[in-house]
Chain A
Amino acid sequence: MSNDVLIRADGLSVHFPLRGFMFGERPVVRACEGINIEIEKGSFFGLVGESGSGKTTLGRAMLKAAPISKGEVIYSDDEVTYNLATLEGAELKDYRKRSQLIFQDPYAALSPRMTVRDIIAEPLEVMGLTSNRDETDARVREIAAMCRLNLEHLRRFPHAFSGGQRQRISIARALVSGPRFIVADESVAALDVSIQADVLNLLNKIQADSGITFLFISHDLSVIAHTCDFVAVMYLGQIVESAPTRKLFSETSHPYTRALLSAIPSLDPDVRGHAQRLEGEIPSPINPPPGCRFNTRCPHAQERCRSEVPEWREMSSKHHVACHFAEELA
């Protein structure tokens, strides 16, 4: 594993067994299947896909917050190397300090009964990162300033804050333990556009200042395009294409990525109705279609797509795609 990679998934699968009937096989939700990704140190890695594509599950598996059924996830910074599939005990606790999660809904993620100071300080106390109250307060103030919260804010309760401010509190809480790796799961989806821009700028600044590696999960390709330097596109539990952001947009290879791109409503009223419409909806992950999982909705699907699983292959440097006909369609 190269030194630049912070966390790597190798053939990662996450399966959730459902309660079945008395006889026969128990149905299994294949939320993630055979995922290969590498997230480089200090990068802003975007993960995009529709609801039900498994992007949240993948994010959680990278934090060891979802069961890893197959494959492995290797985390390696300059101090430690962990294999998440078998991580437990003291090492798992240590990994919790190194990795954090920012949630989607800033209204649900903050306890209404705790002051902002207590919310931000909680991880420090739980993880035993500071030895006394003064030290905790100093750290909380430092992080709060970084997230543009002032001292006055720290004494208040979350209900007094707007959506954007609450999201900044969530970010402060995630940052306080000094993590190396942060998963931001739809962190701007619930915000208005002007506040969304503000939070995105803040995340980018934190990343630039501190070198924290981000896995940024979103359903919005235009948000991803603006913030991330690397993008992976997910469909029904699999990554179908991944590339550096500019390459993904200039050399789009997978039909699903192309459909996603053209489905974004254009801001120009004069270019109406060119959207390459994708028929139907995402199939169930309990019973995914055989062959290429996208074949039921793909406008270019052929016989081979229905029987043979496309190989995950490198088109050009760092640009991977899983499609039989990527070259022909490009």
Chain B
Amino acid sequence: MTSPLISVKDLTLRFRTDEGLVTAVNNVSFDIAPGEVLGLVGESGSGKSVTAKALMMLNADNSVYDPASRITLRVDDQEIDVLSLRRPREQMIIRGGAISMIFQEPMASFAPAISIGDQMVEQLLIHSDMTVARAREISIEMLDRVGIPEPAQRFKQYAFEFSGGMRQRAMIAMALSTKPKLLIADEPTTALDVTIQAQVIELMKDLVEEFHMSILFITHDLGVIAQTADRVAVMYLGNLVETGTVRQVINTPAHPYTRGLLNSLPKLDDLEAPLTPVPGDIPSPLDRPSGCVFHTRCQEFIGDVCKTQIPDYSKDSANHEVSCHLATQGEQS
């Protein structure tokens, strides 16, 4: 097995707030192999974005990383300890160098008063020693590659002159022009219409193959995940509750929360199927439940063990990992 591109080990991240320390990510571990698309799913407030931002050290100043947390990036046979990078100059490797990010709201991620082209050229100049002319050439090529018509004209335009789908394409072009090893896509299609979403998903799939990069794809939409990801990680209240291949997680979900998410989804092939919501609301991160974090809403609750003991991760033979007492008890009996 090839060594993973990035390994996250025991990542725990808290935020200092007026109400005390808030745990946003709790003991999360996962790997992403080169060329792999990992989907990260969860409701709002589950800590998906915070986890992703940790890979680029983009969380706000009030974040506190637990000393046991490790994020290791492997680039050109070199191991980089991401969390030890302190100075901006060192952080360039994770910010636009080996890792790029595209955001949910493409309007908010471009500077409104600088042309799209100038923004693309700027980051290329920062990350390499190419000439401005060459950077411009590459940027226009990238705009063309992501399917923007008349790229040379578009290059000179501003973000407000682009439609939503075009902006997201330009965002992708910009993120990929530095040829990152890992692309973090944080809800890239959520703000788009379904027909445009289909175009963007197809584009991203093509680019994965062409550039052979890995993607961390964050979304709350299990349908989008099913269509794009190789493996899926499900998050709930800062914890990773289940990890497996996309077929394992969607076809044979092992965690009650994953099952709950799937049951609450409207399905087109069975219009009569009732929508079953996961009961209750996601608890406040200030007041995390003891034991299994999901026990307050779990419909397969098996008694006090769920309330008092934090479930271990158990793995089946096919590397389908789940953190639930149901799974561990099944093994024992």
Q: Are A195 and B194 in contact (CB under 8 A)?
A: no
A194 touches B (CB below 8 Å)? yes
Q: Are B202 and A194 in contact (CB under 8 A)?
A: no
A226 touches B (CB below 8 Å)? yes
List the A residue with the shortest CB-CB distance to B199.
A277
> In the complex where A193-B261, A267-B267 touch, is A50 in contact with B277 (Cβ < 8 A)?
no
A225 touches B (CB below 8 Å)? yes
B92 touches A (CB below 8 Å)? no
Residues of A in contact, count (CB < 8 Å): 45
Q: Which of B53-61, B103-111, B223-231, B304-312 lies at the binding interface?
A: B223-231
Q: Are B195 and A192 in contact (CB under 8 A)?
A: no
B145 touches A (CB below 8 Å)? no
Q: Are B247 and A269 in contact (CB under 8 A)?
A: yes
Q: Are A222 and B195 in contact (CB under 8 A)?
A: no
C-alpha gap A205/B199 in the complex (Å): 36
Within 8 A of A (CB), among B193-220: 193-199, 201-202, 205, 220
> In the complex where A225-B268, A278-B195 touch, is A197 in contact with B276 (Cβ < 8 A)?
yes
B114 touches A (CB below 8 Å)? no
Q: Are A162 and B250 in contact (CB under 8 A)?
A: no
- Which of the listed residues B265, B266, B282 has the most CB atoms from chain A within 10 Å of its own CB? B266
Residue in A50, A249, A267, A272 whose beta carbon sits within 8 Å of that of B194 in the complex: A50
Q: Which of A33-41, A257-265, A321-329 lies at the binding interface?
A: A257-265
A43 touches B (CB below 8 Å)? no
A164 touches B (CB below 8 Å)? yes
> In the complex where A162-B282, A223-B266 touch, is A263 in contact with B277 (Cβ < 8 A)?
no
A299 touches B (CB below 8 Å)? no
Chain B residues with Cβ below 8 Å from A209 are none
Chain B residues with Cβ below 8 Å from A281 are 163, 165-166, 196
Q: Are B194 and A260 in contact (CB under 8 A)?
A: yes
B22 touches A (CB below 8 Å)? no
Within 8 A of A (CB), among B177-204: 193-199, 201-202
C-alpha gap A225/B193 in the complex (Å): 17
Chain B residues with Cβ below 8 Å from A200 are 266, 275
Chain B interface size, as a band, is: 35 or more
How near does chain A come to B205, taking the closest CB pair, in angstroms?
Answer: 8
> In the complex where A193-B264, A194-B260, A272-B227 touch, is A246 in contact with B271 (Cβ < 8 A)?
yes
- Which of the listed residues A50, A163, A164, A267 has the most CB atoms from chain B within 10 Å of its own CB? A267
Q: Are A226 and B195 in contact (CB under 8 A)?
A: no
Q: Are B250 and A267 in contact (CB under 8 A)?
A: yes
Chain A residues with Cβ below 8 Å from B316 are none
Q: Are B266 and A225 in contact (CB under 8 A)?
A: yes
Q: Are A222 and B267 in contact (CB under 8 A)?
A: yes
Q: Are A194 and B264 in contact (CB under 8 A)?
A: yes
Q: Are A265 and B201 in contact (CB under 8 A)?
A: yes
> In the complex where A196-B264, A197-B276 touch, is A226 in contact with B194 (Cβ < 8 A)?
no
Q: Are B266 and A222 in contact (CB under 8 A)?
A: yes
List the B residue with the shortest CB-CB distance to A268.
B226
List the A residue with the shortest CB-CB distance to B222.
A267
C-alpha gap A282/B250 in the complex (Å): 33
Chain A residues with Cβ below 8 Å from B220 are 192-193
B281 touches A (CB below 8 Å)? yes
Within 8 A of A (CB), among B267-297: 267-268, 271, 274-278, 281-282
How near does chain A come to B163, taking the closest CB pair, in angstroms?
Answer: 5
A92 touches B (CB below 8 Å)? no
Task: Give A contacts to B, CB under 8 Å.
Answer: 50-51, 162-165, 192-198, 200-201, 219-223, 225-226, 245-246, 249, 259-270, 272-273, 275, 277-279, 281-282
- 24 examples of A-B residue contacts, CB within 8 angstroms: A50-B193, A50-B194, A50-B195, A51-B193, A162-B282, A165-B281, A193-B221, A193-B222, A193-B265, A194-B277, A195-B43, A196-B277, A197-B266, A200-B266, A201-B275, A220-B266, A223-B266, A245-B271, A259-B195, A264-B194, A267-B222, A267-B250, A267-B267, A281-B165
Task: Give B contacts to A, CB under 8 Å.
Answer: 43-44, 163-166, 193-199, 201-202, 205, 220-224, 226-227, 246-247, 250-251, 260-268, 271, 274-278, 281-282
